[in-house]
Amino acid sequence: MMIHQLKPSILVETPLGTGQAIFLIDYGMHQNTCWVVALQENGVIKHFDCNDVILSTNYTYGMNLRKNNFQDEKEAT
């Protein structure tokens, strides 16, 4: 197992809303990486599977300009 602290933290979208990813936990090759996120709305710390985390839009670096997020997925269904 390896724990990596993100410096600086990364702004991400989760099924529970926007938050700051502060740690990654890698349990090895047979399990998905766990993201530890502080939720922006209430400061609660939650653990998310790597499949449940999307980078927030960042115009400076040109990342996720299509604004993919979990809200879009809910509206599509």
- Strand partners for 69: none
Annotated domain spans of the chain: 2-63
How far is Cα of residue 37 from the mean position of the Cα atoms in its chain? 7
For residue 62, what pLDDT is reported? Answer: 81
pLDDT at residue 73, as a whole number: 58
Mean confidence (pLDDT) of the chain: 88
State the Cα–Cα distance between residues 36 and 23, nearest whole angstrom. 5
Structure confidence at residue 63 (pLDDT): 78
48 in Cβ contact with 38 (< 8 Å): no
The per-residue pLDDT for 64 is 79
Report pLDDT for 59.
82
Q: Which helix (H) or strand (E) holds 55?
A: strand 54-55
Residue 39 confidence (pLDDT): 98
Which residues of the chain carry a pLDDT beneath 50? none
